[in-house]
Amino acid sequence: EAGVAQSPRYKIIEKRQSVAFWCNPISGHATLYWYQQILGQGPKLLIQFQNNGVVDDSQLPKDRFSAERLKGVDSTLKIQPAKLEDSAVYLCASSQDRYNEQFFGPGTRLTVL
Amino acid sequence: GNSVTQMEGPVTLSEEAFLTINCTYTATGYPSLFWYVQYPGEGLQLLLKATKADDKGSNKGFEATYRKETTSFHLEKGSVQVSDSAVYFCALSMSNAGNMLTFGGGTRLMVKP
């Protein structure tokens, strides 16, 4: 069974630029999560989707971050414009539903210069 | 709010030594508790979990017991190997909060031959 796929694996941008990350969850998984993991810290949830609806986005900085999961499968997380403090690893996870084990992708490491 | 505190690393041990990584939590209600492991260059993987008080989770020689009275979920292994070198994250989730994970800051384990 294929795992959670993310791309790109690495991205370097300058502050005030825009960037987008893509996530393809495990087939059949209804719930999708985006986490931000700053170096030396544990992951912090940004947003949770159930199919194509948002369950929780209370920790998402909505002035610059946006996320969508239009067809209830793939998801995109965007940052516009990026700040230095956005440098982190962005993790995508999926689960069959919100009560089952979450499976994590390898992450996208973002460096903002 | 909910939070997880775990001992800071790095923890450096010799092969075959006994491992303990402390984890305590604060939660309103009765959380499920998890240990995740992140090997170098890889995504987070679920190591073990416990869903109610006095439950013991175990996997790959690692164990942790859910102690409600001390709000703890310490990770232990009787004899570590070099291949156990990784970052370990303690986490909790609440079923009444969409099962979203709250992570501790992580503990890096380095095992020397």
User: pLDDT tens, position by position, for chain A (113 residues)?
Assistant: 689 999 999 999 999 999 999 999 999 999 999 999 999 889 999 999 999 899 999 999 999 999 999 888 999 999 999 999 999 999 999 999 888 889 999 999 999 99
Determine the pLDDT at residue A1. Answer: 65
- CB contact at 8 A, B68 and B24: no
Q: For the segment B25-60, what is each residue's pLDDT rounded down to a tens digit?
A: 999 888 999 999 999 888 899 999 999 999 999 999
| Set of chain B residues whose Cβ sits within 8 Å of the Cβ of A30 | none
Interface test with A, best of B8, B99, B108 (most A CBs within 10 A): B99
- CB contact at 8 A, A20 and B81: no
- Strands (E) in A5-62, as ranges, are 5-7, 10-13, 19-24, 31-37, 44-50, 53-56
- CB contact at 8 A, B90 and B2: no
Q: Please tell me the distance in Å from A51's CA to the nearest CA on chain B.
A: 14
Determine the pLDDT at residue A70. Answer: 82
